[in-house]
């Protein structure tokens, strides 16, 4: 290797050997690389790894450092890594990778950028940040999108987390309190980055904290005590003072409601405790500070004394005196008590005494004084010294049997010898509180007898002091057996061939000196198995080499004299039975022959149930009282078999293991027959042949003719088959499960079952339309046969030509032909469709009848016309609208629309329908159209017409009269002014007056919306509109009665006529009493339905006092 580090090292070694110093390079000749994972541009919360490595070859003593600034983050011998799983913005900046070897350093630097993670939390309050106590409050914390992964949102108040969520968080209370006011914080965390925002909420008080006062502050027992609870401030704008309810509590338990805010009671020491009050309004509750009530005790000083003293002797008198020091409170009651018992009472003092003190009178006495429910007491003890102690009665022996000597002994253990002698104490024996005998010596003897049973006690008496001993219950015992126990050893469950011990123990009331004879009896169930007499209280009986039949309930009975007792029964369970042995008569037989077998269990006791198996299959079962069973088995099928047996002890349900296995070979006489039936698919009417044969027959033992065949249908014999075949004509009645049986020498073998399903020829198909058939549109046809085996092929014909085919494979399928490529243009063409069906070639083809169904013709575009009773659309008159359709199949549904809203709907078979507006009003003017539909789903709409309603005649007359009156006044004024002018001026004035009268005339113009024929869009013009000239020419036409024309009139008429002769293609003249304007077609108001004029007509009446000229009807 000829590398620079090696050359430097070699030079250094040579120089060292020569004692010279060799200068080294100042820079390390290595290549350093620094990289960032996942990249040098990350986001806060991402992981960051700084990877520093040195490319090979590596110099010896190499050390690699990862640094940020002067800080060494990580180091290694060949490479170095530094990482963080949670990058911060502070982790961005310049990183240095430094390599050191032999004192030489080399470094490379690179920067990484950590973008700050943007999390913008927001906090809001509902209903607002200013609420009132008792309102609901919800704090809603959310983060603006985009949401960083792993986001967690917290709602906090101070350091307490109220709630959290993944994208937003809520905290709410249905009953806000003043304590809920304050600053709430919304904190968002993601990838270790936290951002928060805070906001305050104000909760206004409904009422202030209540204050509890108690008067008087220092109270004695029996004084009147007053509690007062009030809130100093109540928000009067929101609640009344009466809305605030107060309650008094003692030790957190409600004492009383305070309707007036006060509560009174008599002071008592029992009422001492911590009191507080609660103010409540609109579900807001507030508590006052606690007040500790300490009632001062009322002073009553009772005293107790004893006479003659508090130390006396039995037999002395004793008096207890109880009194109270003065002053005495009113209602005083004094009691003398001993424990809970009141001995005496009085109003000022009380006494209790006895003339003959007993030791039982010693003890503590109490003096109790009561006044104003106040009780005080004082206690004191008195000592009564005993003359003699309580006597003790003893009976010997304690357990006594009839005939034994019984001794009663009565003694007082302690006698005060300074006051009395022992002989001064006299003893008496009592039975059931009846004196039995005096006991001068303290003892009494008697022979025990059951008549002496009872409660005994003794009494000691001296100097009028009597003391009775505790009672002793005497029960003379008769000889009894307490308990008899049977124990089975070594256990209650043992294996067969185990020796079992039955041990009987007797516990009886027997005197130690008595010698009795025990008579033992052992039973299995209720059967005696052993009896023996013995002088001991226990006896054993052994059962040798037990078997399962030994199992059962065992008990023992002991009899002593006339007493006897039986033990509880114990169950002995013996498990394990003998494995049987099997013998067979032969190891090889033929089908139909019998095999002799014998199964034995010589050491067991019955009854038995023996079972024989071949190849683990139960073959034969039989019962036997003996411990063996011989029988014969017959095998129906040839093959190799393993035969074994086992048995069950019927009384104990114990089953033995399997016996030895014996191999038996059964040779076949003939094989299983095979039933065949060609062809496999058969239709009605075909010849059907059943064939049944056994492929193999043992010719050494039987002939082929010995095998007889039989045909079965549904397990019922149909026919014998001498030749092995059977022929029938196929029919659905023969369908079923067929099998055949071969029989020879009592051996029967059944073939596998064959399911015969005769196929049915297809029936004549039915053809019908699938859905509605509409002229000119696609439709569907369904073809279906009632009978026929699947699959069935259906072919659709049109005019004798095949259109399409469809094969139906399952009962759920239907042959539906969608006619989309062709349409029918007449109703008769629907009968050109037929179909045929087949399921067994052309010979099974069956044609259908012609398709016969209803064909719907779509409705054509309707035409809308209008007709009035007067020729004009006048307010209060009748307007009839007609809607007519030319083509389509009934019934038709006509819908009438006014200004886009439906006003009427009706269904009829007629092609023409009308809608009548009787007594029409101005508001009924507007746009009208009709819409028609039949059975098809689409509807057709007519063109619109516009109806304008004219004023009623009386309104027009009033308006015209007013205008005429004004014009008359103006006219006479002008005539007076220009009276001196010439004749021409007078005629001009007359012409002016005629033109003025024309403005007040009533006229109707029905003007189409555009030039040319328009069958639905028309305009009806009222007399209030300004009258215009003809739309096309701009000319006007006036009507003037004959014989009234002046020269000027004639001139005007000649000019108009000449102009109209040039422009009017219809050659309208004055003889028609109309001047026609050309350019657009017109529909007169009195025109019958469907009629259309070829021009626009404008009427003008120059003489208002004459009737309107008759209108000329338009051509049809």
CA of 779: how far to CAs of 772, 782, 798, 853, in Å? 7, 10, 14, 12
Q: Is the peptide bond before 104 cis (omega within 30 degrees of 0)?
A: no
- Cα first-last separation, the chain: 123
Pair 978, 971: CB distance under 8 Å: no
Contact 977, 964 (CB under 8 A): no
Tokens of 751: 């073939």
d(C-alpha 216, C-alpha 165), whole Å? 56
Higher pLDDT, 1034 or 840: 840
What is the DSSP secondary-structure string of 290-302? Answer: PEEE-PBPP---E
The DSSP bridge partners found for residue 187 are 154, 196
C-alpha 657/C-alpha 670 separation (Å) is 36
- Locate 669 and state its tokens: 């006489």
CA–CA separation, 944 and 927 (whole Å): 6
Alpha-carbon span 1097 to 786, nearest angstrom: 72
Q: Own/partner pairs for 778-783, CB < 8 Å, 24+ apart? A: 778/818, 778/819, 778/820, 778/823, 779/819, 780/816, 780/817, 780/818, 780/819, 781/816, 781/817, 781/819, 781/833, 781/835, 781/851, 782/814, 782/815, 782/816, 782/817, 783/815, 783/817, 783/835, 783/837, 783/848
- List b or e across 407-427, with b for residues whose CB sees 16 or more CB atoms inside 10 angstroms: ebbbbbeebeeeebeeeebeb
pLDDT per residue as tens digits for the range 1096-1114 = 322 333 333 334 433 333 3
- Assess whether pLDDT exceeds 90 at residue 530: yes
pLDDT at residue 567, as a whole number:
92
Q: What is the pLDDT of residue 846?
A: 85
Residue in 40, 49, 190, 188 with CA at minimum distance from that of residue 114: 40
Does the pLDDT value for residue 1057 go beyond 70? no
Contact 144/151 with Cβ under 8 angstroms?
A: no
Which DSSP string do the residues of 311-373 spell out, in sequence order?
EEETTS-EEEEEEEPSSPPTT-EEEEEETTEEEEEESSEEEEEESS--GGG-EEEEEEEEETT
Query: How does residue 937 score in pLDDT terms, banded at 50, 70 and 90?
Result: low
The pLDDT score that the predictor gives to residue 982 is: 60
Cα distances (angstroms) measured from residue 838 to each of 732, 781, 791, 937? 18, 18, 9, 37
pLDDT band at 1027 (very low <50, low <70, confident <90, very high): very low
874 secondary structure, DSSP code: B
Instruction: Give residue 883's pLDDT band: very low, low, confident or very high (50, 70, 90).
Output: very high
Nearest residue to 347 via CA among 365, 369, 378:
369
Pairwise CA distance, residues 249 & 581, whole Å: 94
Q: Virtual CA dihedral for 921, 927, 933, 939, nearest 10 degrees? A: -160
* 459-468, 699-708, 952-961: which is most confident: 459-468
For residue 985, the model assigns a pLDDT of: 57
Residue 545 — left, alpha, or beta (φ > 0 → left; ψ -120 to 50 → alpha)? left
Q: pLDDT at position 1102, please?
A: 32
Question: Is 988 buried (19+), middle (13-18) or exposed (0-12) by CB count in 10 A?
Answer: middle
Instruction: Among 38-42, 43-47, 354-358, 1015-1019, name the one with the lowest average pLDDT.
Output: 1015-1019
CA angle centred on 566, ends 560 and 567, rounded to 5°: 125
3-state secondary structure of 704: helix
> Dihedral (C-alpha) 715, 716, 717, 718: value to the nearest 10 degrees?
-110
* 8 A C-beta contact, residue 362 and residue 326: no
pLDDT score recorded for residue 929: 94
Q: CA–CA distance from 714 to each of 256, 673, 677 (Å)?
A: 93, 17, 16
- The predicted-structure confidence for 352-375, as pLDDT tens digits, reads as follows 999 888 888 899 999 998 877 778
- Residue 802: its pLDDT value, please? 87
DSSP 8-state secondary structure symbol assigned to residue 1048: H
The owner of tokens 């914080």 is: 185
pLDDT of residue 460: 93
**Strand, coil or helix: 523:** strand
Give all strands of the β-sheet with 846-847 in edge-to-edge order. Answer: 801-808, 792-798, 833-838, 846-847
Q: What is the 3-state secondary structure (H, E, C) of 58-125?
A: CCCCCEEEEEECCEEEEEECCEEEEEECCCCHHHCEEEEEEEEECCEEEEEEEEEEEECCCCCEEEEE
Parallel, antiparallel, or unpaired for β 41-43 and 104-115?
parallel
For 264-300, how does the pLDDT look when each residue is reduced to its tens digit (9 = 90+)? Answer: 988 888 889 999 999 998 888 899 999 999 887 777 8
Confidence of residue 475 (pLDDT cuts 50, 70, 90): confident
> What's the token pair of residue 517?
């004879």
Helix/strand/coil for 549? helix
Instruction: Name the residue among 162, 147, 155 with its Cα closest to residue 193.
Output: 147
Would you give the distance in Å from CA 120 to the centre of its chain? 38
Please say if the pLDDT value at position 9 is more than 70.
no
Note the pLDDT of residue 794.
Answer: 92
Q: Return phi, psi of residue 828, to 5°.
A: -70, -25
Q: How far is CA 866 from CA 199, 226, 924, in A?
A: 74, 97, 14
* Interhelix angle 953-977/983-999, nearest 10 degrees: 160
What is the C-alpha to C-alpha distance for residues 665 and 1041, in angstroms, rounded to an integer?
142
1076 pLDDT more than 70: no
- How far is 934 from 302, CA to CA, in rounded Å? 117
Written as one string, the DSSP assignment of 582-628 is EEES-SEEETT-EEEEEEE-TT--S-EEEEEEETTEEEEEEEESSSE
Is 429:407 a contact under the CB 8 Å cutoff?
A: no
Backbone angles phi, psi at 327, to 5 degrees: -75, 150
The pLDDT assigned to 1080 comes to: 35
What's the pLDDT at 869? 61
Q: By C-alpha distance, which of 949, 948, 944 is closest to 1014? A: 944
Q: Which of 270-279, 390-399, 798-807, 826-835 has the highest mean pLDDT?
A: 270-279
Residue with structure tokens 């389509």? 888
* Distance (Å, whole) CA 631 – CA 633: 7
Residue pair 547/604 in contact (Cβ under 8 Å)? The answer is: yes
Whether residue 143 contacts residue 188, with contact meaning beta carbons closer than 8 Å, is answered with: yes
When pLDDT is cut at 50, 70 and 90, the band that residue 6 belongs to is low
Mean pLDDT of 671-677: 88
pLDDT mean across residues, the chain? 80
> Can you tell me the mean pLDDT for 637-652?
87
User: Mean per-residue pLDDT for 808-832?
Assistant: 83
**In the structure, what pLDDT confidence band is assigned to residue 438 with cuts at 50, 70 and 90?**
very high
Q: Which two tokens stand for residue 141?
A: 């914390």
Per-residue pLDDT tens digits for 827-847: 788 888 999 999 888 878 889
Q: Are 431 and 440 contacting, i.e. CB atoms less than 8 angstroms apart?
A: no
Cβ(385)–Cβ(314) below 8 Å: yes
Residue with tokens 């009472």: 345
Would you state the pLDDT for residue 123?
93
DSSP, res 964: H
For the cut 80, the answer to whether the pLDDT of residue 562 exceeds it is: no
Task: Please write the tens of the pLDDT for every residue from 584-614.
Answer: 988 888 887 888 999 998 888 878 999 999 8
- Taking the CA atoms of the chain, what radius of gyration do you get in angstroms? 67
pLDDT digits (tens, 9 = 90+) for 112-166: 998 877 788 999 999 999 998 888 999 999 988 778 888 899 999 999 999 999 8
Percent pLDDT > 70 in the chain is 83
| Confidence class for position 342, pLDDT limits 50, 70, 90 | very high
For the cut 50, the answer to whether the pLDDT of residue 999 exceeds it is no
pLDDT tens figures, 183-229? 999 999 887 788 899 999 998 888 999 999 998 877 877 778 899 99
């Amino acid at each position: 290797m000829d590398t620079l580090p090696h050359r430097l090292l070699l030079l250094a070694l040579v120089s060292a050997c020569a004692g010279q110093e060799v200068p080294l390079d100042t820079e390390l000749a290595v290549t350093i690389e620094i990289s960032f994972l996942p990249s040098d541009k990350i986001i806060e919360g991402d992981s960051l790894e700084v990877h520093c490595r040195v490319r090979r070859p590596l110099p010896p003593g190499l050390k690699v450092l990862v640094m940020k600034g002067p800080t060494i983050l990580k180091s290694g011998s060949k490479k170095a890594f530094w990482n963080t799983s949670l990058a911060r913005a502070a982790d961005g900046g310049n990183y240095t990778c430094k390599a050191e070897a032999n004192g030489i350093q080399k470094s490379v630097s690179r920067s990484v950028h950590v973008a700050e993670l943007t999390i913008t939390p927001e906090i809001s309050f509902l209903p607002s940040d200013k609420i009132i106590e008792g309102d609901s409050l919800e704090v809603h914390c959310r983060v603006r999108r985009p949401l960083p992964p792993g986001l967690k949102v917290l709602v906090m108040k101070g350091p307490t987390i109220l709630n959290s969520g993944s994208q937003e968080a809520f905290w709410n209370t249905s009953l806000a309190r003043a304590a809920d006011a304050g600053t709430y914080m919304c904190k968002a965390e993601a990838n270790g980055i936290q951002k928060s925002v805070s906001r305050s909420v104000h909760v206004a008080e409904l009422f202030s904290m209540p204050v509890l006062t108690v008067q008087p502050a220092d109270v004695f027992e029996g004084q009147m005590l007053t509690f007062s609870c009030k809130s100093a401030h109540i928000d009067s704008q929101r609640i009344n003072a009466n809305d605030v309810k107060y309650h008094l509590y003692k030790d957190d338990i409600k004492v009383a409601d305070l309707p007036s805010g006060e509560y009174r009671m008599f002071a008592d020491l029992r009422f001492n405790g911590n009191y507080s009050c609660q103010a409540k309004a609109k579900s807001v509750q507030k508590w006052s500070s606690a007040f500790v009530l300490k009632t001062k005790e009322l002073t009553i000083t009772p005293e107790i004394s004893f006479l003659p003293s508090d130390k006396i002797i039995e037999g002395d008198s004793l008096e207890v005196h109880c009194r109270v020091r003065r002053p005495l409170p009113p209602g005083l009651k004094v009691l003398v008590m001993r424990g809970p018992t009141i001995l005496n009472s009085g109003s000022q003092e009380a006494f209790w005494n006895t003339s003959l003190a007993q030791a039982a009178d010693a003890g503590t006495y109490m003096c109790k004084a009561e006044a104003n429910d106040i009780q005080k007491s004082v206690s004191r003890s008195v000592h009564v010294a005993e003359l003699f102690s309580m006597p003790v009665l003893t009976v010997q022996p304690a357990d006594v049997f009839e005939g034994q000597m019984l001794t009663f002994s009565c003694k007082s253990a302690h006698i005060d010898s300074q006051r009395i002698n022992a002989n001064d104490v006299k003893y008496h024996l009592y039975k059931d509180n009846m004196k039995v005998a005096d006991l001068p010596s303290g003892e009494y003897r008697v022979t025990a007898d059951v008549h002496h049973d009872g409660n005994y006690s003794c009494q000691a008496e001296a100097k009028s002091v009597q003391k009775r001993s505790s009672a002793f219950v005497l029960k003379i015992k008769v000889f009894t057996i307490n308990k008899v126990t049977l124990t089975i050893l070594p256990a209650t469950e043992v294996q067969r061939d185990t020796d079992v011990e039955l041990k009987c123990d007797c516990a009886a009331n027997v005197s130690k000196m008595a010698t009795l004879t025990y008579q033992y009896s052992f039973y299995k169930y209720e059967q005696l198995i052993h009896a023996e007499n013995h002088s001991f209280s226990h006896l054993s009986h052994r059962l040798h080499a037990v078997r399962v039949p030994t199992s059962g309930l065992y008990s023992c009975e002991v009899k002593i004299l006339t007493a006897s007792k039986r033990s509880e029964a114990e169950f002995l369970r013996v498990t394990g039975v003998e494995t049987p042995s099997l013998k067979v008569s032969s190891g090889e037989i033929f089908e139909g022959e019998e095999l002799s077998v014998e199964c034995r269990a010589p050491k067991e006791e019955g009854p038995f149930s023996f079972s024989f198996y071949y190849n683990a299959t139960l073959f034969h079962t039989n019962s036997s009282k003996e411990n063996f069973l011989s029988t014969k088995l017959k095998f129906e099928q040839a093959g190799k078999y393993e035969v074994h047996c086992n048995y069950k002890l019927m009384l104990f349900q114990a089953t033995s293991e399997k016996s030895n296995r014996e191999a038996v070979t059964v040779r076949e006489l003939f094989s299983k027959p095979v039933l065949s039936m060609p062809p496999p698919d058969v239709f009605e009417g075909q010849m059907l042949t059943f064939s049944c044969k056994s492929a193999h027959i043992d010719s050494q033992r039987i002939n082929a003719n010995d095998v007889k065949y039989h045909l079965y249908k549904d397990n019922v014999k149909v026919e014998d088959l001498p030749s092995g075949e059977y022929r029938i004509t196929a029919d659905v009645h023969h369908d079923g499960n067929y099998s055949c049986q071969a029989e020879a020498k009592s051996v029967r073998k059944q073939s596998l079952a064959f399911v015969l399903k005769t196929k049915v020829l297809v029936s004549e198909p039915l053809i019908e339309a699938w859905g509605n058939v509409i002229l000119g549109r696609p439709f569907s046809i369904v073809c279906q046969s009632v009978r026929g085996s699947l699959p069935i092929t259906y072919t659709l014909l049109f005019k004798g030509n095949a259109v399409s085919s469809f094969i139906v494979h399952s009962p759920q399928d239907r042959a539906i032909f969608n006619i989309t490529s062709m349409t029918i243009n007449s109703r008769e063409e629907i009968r050109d469709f037929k179909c045929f069906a087949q399921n067994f070639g052309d010979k099974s083809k069956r044609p259908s009848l012609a398709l016969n169904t209803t064909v719907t013709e779509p409705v054509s575009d309707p035409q809308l016309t209008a007709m009035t009773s007067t020729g004009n659309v006048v307010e209060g008159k009748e307007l009839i609208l007609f809607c007519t359709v030319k083509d389509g199949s009934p019934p038709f549904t006509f819908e009438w629309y006014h200004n886009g809203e439906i006003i009427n709907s009706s269904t009829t078979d007629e092609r023409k329908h009308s809608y009548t507006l009787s007594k029409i009003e101005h508001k009924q003017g507007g746009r009208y159209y009709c819409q028609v539909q039949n059975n098809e789903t689409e509807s057709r709409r007519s063109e619109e017409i516009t109806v304008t309603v004219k004023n009623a005649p009386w309104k027009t007359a009033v308006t015209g009269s007013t205008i005429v009156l004004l014009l008359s006044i103006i006219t006479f004024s002008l005539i007076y002014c220009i009276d001196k002018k010439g004749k021409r001026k007078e005629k001009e004035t007359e012409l002016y007056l005629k033109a003025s009268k024309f403005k007040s005339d009533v006229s109707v113009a029905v003007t189409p919306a555009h030039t040319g024929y328009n069958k639905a869009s028309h305009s009806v013009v009222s007399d209030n509109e300004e009258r215009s000239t003809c739309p096309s020419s701009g000319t006007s036409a006036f009507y003037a009665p004959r014989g009234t024309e002046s020269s000027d009139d004639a001139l005007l008429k000649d000019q108009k006529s000449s102009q109209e002769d040039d422009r009017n293609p219809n050659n309208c003249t004055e003889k028609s009493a109309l001047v026609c304007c050309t350019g657009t077609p017109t529909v007169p108001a009195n025109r019958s339905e469907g009629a259309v004029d070829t021009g626009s007509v404008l009427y003008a009446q120059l003489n208002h006092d004459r009737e309107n000229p008759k209108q000329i009807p338009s051509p049809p």
